A and B are shown apart, each in its own frame.
Chain A
């Protein structure tokens, strides 16, 4: 029982991380029909900026999180304005390849700024691990889980209750129709990029204390996040969170009860199975079409 609980905690922590990253993918997909493969790199930049602000400039945690989020969101806006909007024939496949290119560019730039070493920073609150029935849970894991759920909740609120959220959704359904009813779809796409990458930034800040950020951490995180988003249902907010937790917990249980060598294989096997039986993910928000 104690072991099972420990695997479960381990999975919850990783799962929450995957979940927040998946949220970024889903949110952008829902608003723009686009998959941003450089999302993991924005998470990486968020984590490294957080380390620089808290360790280098000695800024307290909360203001540092806010500053990092603003910085990363601004980077996302720049990315949309300079690389995405300027494309003459914005077909999905072209845009996706641009995001792949952007991820290489961002990784290279981060390597020049922060170097190749990993960094460390302390937890948000210096609390010893919590003992629950013999299993240990880090305080930072509780922060990660809380903040992830909070983000999903506020996004839900944004889409359901605010005009901007509804307008953004309208753009995703039909750009031209949205334009006809007076929704500035270019601004909406820009906003969607800002929010999505900003969320990547937040994800980076909360995982910085436990992951030891380095310039090359983004790729795997992005892949796992994408995997979680597909698992839960791309475009569905709660689906992403669910997919993240599911992926994290199954990975940890797999490591515990089967073999640690199969950890990554398990995630992708799970994805294949889900895509086979439920192509839209567990909670499918959008109808699936093939290219």
Chain B
């Protein structure tokens, strides 16, 4: 009996040793230079936020294919592993864990939304894996988390673009009307916070629900407060209803919108009532009419052309977030052989990287890297966009 047990133990030990030897041997045996570098992607490919996640997924694969066609990073190919969060923060955490523990990715791009990004941040931080979020929320990189970066322009810049324009036009009393979701609330916080810096006075603040169909009551309140300008912060279709209601009530005050409606769809929805509305937008929307000396013009044109020929749908700013993230990563990965510490350090030192969303200058104190000039102010004129200075 005891000898049988002994035999069994010996057999087990032998087995473990063999397995250990094999595991140790395998990295040395395979040609590590030929191994692809895996990059994880976490996007809201389906669900309500798929308008973000779907172009992001497509742009990520496109950027990786472009890099691979050009010879990869130091001879190693990139490989994308992409999971879908459906916009759910708990799924974002699961996906991040799976990418890190099972797929052994070198870096993560995404998630697409502020809540999903914030949920995934602790996972990436603990595992010490560089993560570049594609969401807009300031809280992702504020305060600075060593391993977390983001490529989307933040509300801070959008608000300061609008406020600068107000200041230049001597408009001081402003009314704000914001949607009651995370986008609107984050915008409202910034609008309130920065008002003093630009010497503006908020005379009235109103809200509207995501699927409200009539905002005349709120606008009547705004009219009573007699502001110099109205700022509406929301995503379709609410702001289009606001534009129509303003027309209905015949309120003749300059109307500013957020970058949340910077798409041709907004002009479709608001129709004639969109005329004269001012809003900040990333340059991709106005790539055609940018002056030729704009540093982003060429890369924007290339991206739009490549995206539209490959996917047969209009390119959007959202896909640009993932496209920028991959290209920034590619830059940071050169010469690191997949060492995550080095990649992180290189990311933090990237300067003057011209991307889709703007020119990135990362530093120890700035993990978004963009300045207010990532936005340009446009006016809707004759059913299309027109640059304003």
Residues of A within 8 A of B (CB): 3, 6-7, 9-11, 13-14, 17, 116-120, 122, 129, 136, 138, 207, 210-212, 214, 216-217, 219-221, 252-253, 255-256, 259-261, 263-264
Instruction: Assess the A118–B237 pair: CB atoms within 8 A.
Output: yes
B314 to chain A, nearest CB (A): 12
Q: Would you call B269 an interface residue if the criterion is a C-beta within 8 Å of the partner chain's C-beta atoms?
A: yes
Among the listed B48, B50, B213, B250, which residue makes an inter-chain contact with A210, where contact means beta carbons less than 8 Å apart? B213
Contact A252 to B217, CB < 8 A, known contacts A120-B268, A263-B207: yes
Q: Which residues of A contact B237 (CB under 8 A)?
A: 118, 120, 211-212, 214
Within the assembled complex, what's the spacing in Å between the Cα atoms of A221 and B211?
8
Instruction: Assess the A6–B271 pair: CB atoms within 8 A.
Output: no
Number of interface residues of B (CB under 8 A): 32
Contact A260 to B217, CB < 8 A, known contacts A120-B271, A212-B237, A217-B211: yes
Q: Would you call B221 an interface residue if the criterion is a C-beta within 8 Å of the partner chain's C-beta atoms?
A: yes
Within the assembled complex, what's the spacing in Å between the Cα atoms of A116 and B313?
14
Instruction: Assess the A129–B50 pair: CB atoms within 8 A.
Output: no
Q: Would you call B6 an interface residue if the criterion is a C-beta within 8 Å of the partner chain's C-beta atoms?
A: no
Which B-chain residue is minimally distant from A128 (CB atoms)?
B248
Instruction: Assess the A118–B216 pair: CB atoms within 8 A.
Output: no
30 contacts between A and B (CB under 8 A): A3-B220, A3-B221, A6-B216, A6-B249, A7-B217, A9-B216, A10-B217, A11-B217, A13-B213, A118-B237, A119-B269, A120-B240, A120-B268, A122-B271, A129-B249, A129-B250, A138-B248, A211-B237, A212-B241, A216-B48, A216-B211, A220-B210, A252-B214, A253-B217, A255-B206, A255-B218, A256-B220, A259-B207, A260-B218, A260-B221
Within the assembled complex, what's the spacing in Å between the Cα atoms of A127 and B168?
38
Residues of B332-373 whose CB lies within 8 A of A: none
Q: Would you call B310 an interface residue if the criterion is a C-beta within 8 Å of the partner chain's C-beta atoms?
A: no
Within the assembled complex, what's the spacing in Å between the Cα atoms of A71 and B210?
28
Instruction: Assess the A117–B236 pair: CB atoms within 8 A.
Output: yes
Residues of B223-276 whose CB lies within 8 A of A: 224, 236-237, 240-241, 244, 248-250, 265, 268-271
Q: Which residues of B contact A10 (CB under 8 A)?
A: 214, 216-217, 220
Instruction: Assess the B211–A220 pair: CB atoms within 8 A.
Output: yes
Contact A220 to B209, CB < 8 A, known contacts A6-B216, A138-B248, A210-B214: yes
Residues of B271-315 whose CB lies within 8 A of A: 271
Since A120-B269, A120-B271, A210-B241 are in contact, a sample of 12 more A-B pairs with Cβ atoms closer than 8 Å, ordered by chain A residue number, is A3-B224, A7-B217, A13-B213, A118-B236, A118-B265, A119-B269, A120-B237, A212-B269, A220-B209, A255-B221, A260-B207, A263-B208
Instruction: Assess the A14–B265 pair: CB atoms within 8 A.
Output: no
Instruction: Assess the B213–A14 pair: CB atoms within 8 A.
Output: yes
Which A-chain residue is minimally distant from B206 (CB atoms)?
A260
B230 to chain A, nearest CB (A): 14
Among the listed B51, B249, B271, which residue makes an inter-chain contact with A136, where contact means beta carbons less than 8 Å apart? B249
Within the assembled complex, what's the spacing in Å between the Cα atoms of A219 and B269?
21
Contact A136 to B236, CB < 8 A, known contacts A255-B217, A256-B217: no
Q: Which residues of A contact B268 (CB under 8 A)?
A: 120
Q: Which residues of A contact B51 (CB under 8 A)?
A: 116-117
Q: Which residues of B contact A13 (CB under 8 A)?
A: 213-214
Q: Most B CB atoms within 10 A — which of A6, A138, A211?
A: A6
Within the assembled complex, what's the spacing in Å between the Cα atoms of A255 and B220?
10
Q: Would you call B138 an interface residue if the criterion is a C-beta within 8 Å of the partner chain's C-beta atoms?
A: no
Q: Which residues of B contact A117 (CB under 8 A)?
A: 51, 236, 265
Q: Would you call B381 an interface residue if the criterion is a C-beta within 8 Å of the partner chain's C-beta atoms?
A: no
Which B-chain residue is minimally distant from A7 (CB atoms)?
B217
Which B-chain residue is minimally distant from A256 (CB atoms)?
B217
The 6 nearest A-B residue pairs measured at CB? A212-B237, A118-B237, A255-B217, A211-B213, A260-B207, A10-B216
Instruction: Assess the A207–B213 pair: CB atoms within 8 A.
Output: yes
B110 to chain A, nearest CB (A): 19
A157 to chain B, nearest CB (A): 29
Q: Which residues of A contact B48 (CB under 8 A)?
A: 116, 216
Q: Would you call B180 an interface residue if the criterion is a C-beta within 8 Å of the partner chain's C-beta atoms?
A: yes
Which A-chain residue is minimally distant from B49 (CB atoms)?
A116
Q: Which residues of A contact B216 (CB under 8 A)?
A: 6, 9-10, 136
Q: Most A CB atoms within 10 A — which of B211, B221, B249?
A: B211
Within the assembled complex, what's the spacing in Å between the Cα atoms of A285 and B208?
34
Q: Most A CB atoms within 10 A — which of B208, B209, B210, B220?
A: B220
Within the assembled complex, what's the spacing in Å between the Cα atoms of A261 and B210?
12
A115 to chain B, nearest CB (A): 9
A290 to chain B, nearest CB (A): 31
Within the assembled complex, what's the spacing in Å between the Cα atoms of A220 and B212?
9
Residues of B310-339 whose CB lies within 8 A of A: none
Q: Which residues of B contact A138 (CB under 8 A)?
A: 248
B250 to chain A, nearest CB (A): 7
Within the assembled complex, what's the spacing in Å between the Cα atoms of A259 and B250?
23
Instruction: Assess the A261–B180 pair: CB atoms within 8 A.
Output: yes
Instruction: Assess the A129–B248 pair: CB atoms within 8 A.
Output: yes
Q: Most B CB atoms within 10 A — which of A9, A207, A260?
A: A260
Within the assembled complex, what's the spacing in Å between the Cα atoms of A110 and B88?
21
B379 to chain A, nearest CB (A): 20
B274 to chain A, nearest CB (A): 11
Within the assembled complex, what's the spacing in Å between the Cα atoms of A17 and B270?
21
Within the assembled complex, what's the spacing in Å between the Cα atoms of A289 and B214?
36
Within the assembled complex, what's the spacing in Å between the Cα atoms of A119 and B271?
11
Within the assembled complex, what's the spacing in Å between the Cα atoms of A216 and B214?
17
Q: Which residues of B contact A3 (CB under 8 A)?
A: 220-221, 224
B172 to chain A, nearest CB (A): 23
A176 to chain B, nearest CB (A): 42
Instruction: Assess the B214–A256 pair: CB atoms within 8 A.
Output: no
Within the assembled complex, what's the spacing in Å between the Cα atoms of A118 and B48?
13
Q: Which residues of B contact A7 (CB under 8 A)?
A: 217, 220
Q: Which residues of B contact A116 (CB under 8 A)?
A: 48, 50-51
Which B-chain residue is minimally distant from A254 (CB atoms)?
B217
Q: Which residues of A contact B208 (CB under 8 A)?
A: 260, 263
Q: Which residues of A contact B212 (CB under 8 A)?
A: 263
A268 to chain B, nearest CB (A): 12
Q: Which residues of A contact B213 (CB under 8 A)?
A: 13-14, 17, 207, 210-211
